[in-house]
């Protein structure tokens, strides 16, 4: 270290210790606990996601999607097993016939495991009440009385979803059946609109359109949303993933009934903005099988509900399919 003497103008060199300072951050116990709970594979995936190549990132994302699909199938299989155990217990205790039992998971409507026909598996009254359908009589009259010109205009203006318009063209000629079909299609129009709404839209005070019948609005909000109340704040509505999946289950069940339990999902893929894989996976959780065919050089996917019900089972993936 040099010391400058201003009076003489000389500099005197004095030996001194060299000290290097480095920042030190105290580790929080929470950070240590979180780091300890993460597996090596999860750490590897995190590094690949942040710093890996595009191919590595796609591989990680694909594996995570496959895991989610597997978890959904596992949950469905567990639900089916549990429902069978409940039925066996009920039969042993002679409380009620097993065929009358109705079991359900968070995302699956009540179903009859011993149904003799597909129509008996899911009952319409468990999807939408007769009171709600009755209040849709006036609104559905536009569909039941539609002309070819109306359909052309609606397709051009996208007034209704393509699945709805496709079914309007083949409504029954029997007045009572035509009325019920129109009511169901109108309810489907409302339910599909709700399904596509974003979370931010549902947080508003009146999220559903005011032109909807009040009974329909109340039914949809009570069935597929939850109220969240925080101290000092107004009540908010939220839609958990399980309720979003329940809404999709109701849509698929109604469409299956409208199509005599053999449903081409081409229109729903477009209307609901979902992939064929997502719809097929969800339909399988309802007990449906699926098949793939070709039409005009494009893939066509069909889901079918048959009895006895066949729920998916979980299979271990082969080691050769592992990416890492």
Q: Which of 6-15, 84-93, 228-237 has the lowest mean pLDDT?
A: 84-93
**Per-residue pLDDT at 160:** 94
Closest by CA to 184, choosing from 110, 125, 121, is 125
Mean pLDDT of 51-76: 69
Looking at per-residue pLDDT, the higher value among 23 and 128 belongs to 128
Q: What are the pLDDT digits (tens) for 77-104?
A: 555 555 445 444 444 433 333 333 334 4
| Contact residues for 247 (Cβ-Cβ < 8 A; gap 6+) | 191, 194, 195, 224
Element (H, E) at 179: helix 175-196
Closest by CA to 119, choosing from 322, 274, 259, is 259
**Per-residue pLDDT at 96:** 35
pLDDT above 70: percentage of residues in the chain? 79
How far apart CA 160 and CA 142 sit, in angstroms, is: 11
CB neighbourhood size of 68 (10 A): 11
H helices within 13-159, ranges in order?
Answer: 29-37, 40-51, 54-93, 124-127, 130-134, 137-144, 148-157
**Per-residue pLDDT at 186:** 95
Q: What's the CA angle centered on 271, arms 110 and 312, to 5 degrees? A: 40
Tokens representing 276? 């064929």
Mean pLDDT of 224-248: 82
Distances (CA, A) of 193 to 22, 61, 129, 130: 58, 29, 19, 21
Q: Which residue shows structure tokens 């129109």?
A: 182
* pLDDT above 80 (res 1): no
* pLDDT above 60 (res 7): yes
Q: What are the pLDDT digits (tens) for 140-188?
A: 999 999 999 999 999 999 999 999 999 999 999 999 999 999 999 999 9
Q: Which residues of 44-54 are buried (b: 16+ CB within 10 A; e: fewer)?
A: ebeebeeebee
Q: What are phi and psi of 273, to 5 degrees?
A: 55, 45
Yes or no: say if 207 and 220 are a contact pair by the CB < 8 Å rule: no
Radius of gyration, alpha carbons of the chain: 30
* pLDDT above 50 (res 117): yes
Tokens representing 58? 């796609």
**Per-residue pLDDT at 73:** 54
Looking at per-residue pLDDT, the higher value among 58 and 25 belongs to 58
Mean pLDDT of 206-213: 89
Yes or no: say if 196 and 171 are a contact pair by the CB < 8 Å rule: no
How far apart CA 85 and CA 172 sit, in angstroms, is: 41
Q: What are the pLDDT digits (tens) for 269-320?
A: 999 999 999 999 999 999 999 998 888 788 899 999 998 888 776 555 454 4
Q: Which of 59-63, 163-167, 245-249 has the lowest mean pLDDT?
A: 59-63
**Per-residue pLDDT at 87:** 45
Give the count of alpha carbons within 13 A of 241, CB side only: 2
For residue 263, give the DSSP letter: E
* pLDDT above 60 (res 220): yes
* Cα end-to-end span (Å), the chain: 57
* pTM for the whole structure: 0.64
Average pLDDT score over the chain:
80
Strand pairing class (262-264; 288-295): unpaired
**CA 252 from centroid of its chain's CA atoms:** 12
Confidence of residue 26 (pLDDT cuts 50, 70, 90): low
Looking at per-residue pLDDT, the higher value among 143 and 64 belongs to 143
Confidence of residue 322 (pLDDT cuts 50, 70, 90): very low
pLDDT above 90: percentage of residues in the chain? 44
**Per-residue pLDDT at 68:** 57
């Amino acid at each position: 270290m040099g010391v400058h003497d201003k009076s003489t103008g000389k500099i005197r060199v004095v030996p001194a210790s060299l000290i290097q300072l480095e920042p030190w951050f105290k580790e929080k116990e929470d950070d240590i606990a979180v780091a300890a709970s993460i597996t090596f594979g999860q750490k590897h995936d995190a590094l690949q996601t942040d710093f890996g190549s595009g191919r590595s990132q796609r591989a990680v994302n694909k594996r995570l999607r496959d895991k989610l699909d597997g978890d959904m199938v596992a949950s469905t299989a567990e639900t089916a097993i549990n429902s069978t155990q409940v039925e066996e217990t009920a039969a042993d205790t002679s409380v009620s016939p097993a065929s009358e039992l109705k079991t359900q998971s968070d995302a699956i409507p009540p179903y009859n495991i011993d149904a003799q026909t597909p129509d008996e598996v899911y009952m319409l009254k468990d999807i939408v009440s007769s009171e709600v359908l009755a209040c849709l009589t006036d609104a559905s009259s536009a569909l039941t009385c539609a002309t070819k010109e109306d359909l052309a205009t609606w397709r051009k203006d996208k007034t209704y979803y393509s699945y709805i318009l496709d079914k309007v063209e083949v409504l029954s000629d029997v007045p009572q059946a035509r009325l019920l079909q129109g009511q169901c299609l109108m309810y489907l129009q409302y339910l599909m609109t709700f399904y596509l709404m974003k979370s931010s839209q549902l947080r508003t005070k009146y999220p559903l359109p005011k032109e909807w019948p009040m009974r329909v609005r109340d039914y949809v909000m009570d069935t597929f949303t939850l109220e969240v109340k925080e101290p000092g704040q107004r009540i908010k509505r939220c839609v958990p993933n399980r309720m979003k999946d329940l809404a999709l289950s109701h849509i698929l069940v109604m469409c299956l009934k409208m199509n005599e339990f053999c449903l081409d999902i081409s229109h729903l893929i477009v209307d609901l903005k979902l992939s064929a894989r997502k719809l097929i996976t969800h339909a399988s959780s309802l007990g449906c099988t699926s098949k793939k065919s070709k039409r005009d050089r494009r893939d066509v996917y069909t889901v079918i509900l048959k009895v006895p019900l066949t729920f998916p089972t979980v299979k271990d993936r082969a080691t050769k399919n592992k990416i890492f």
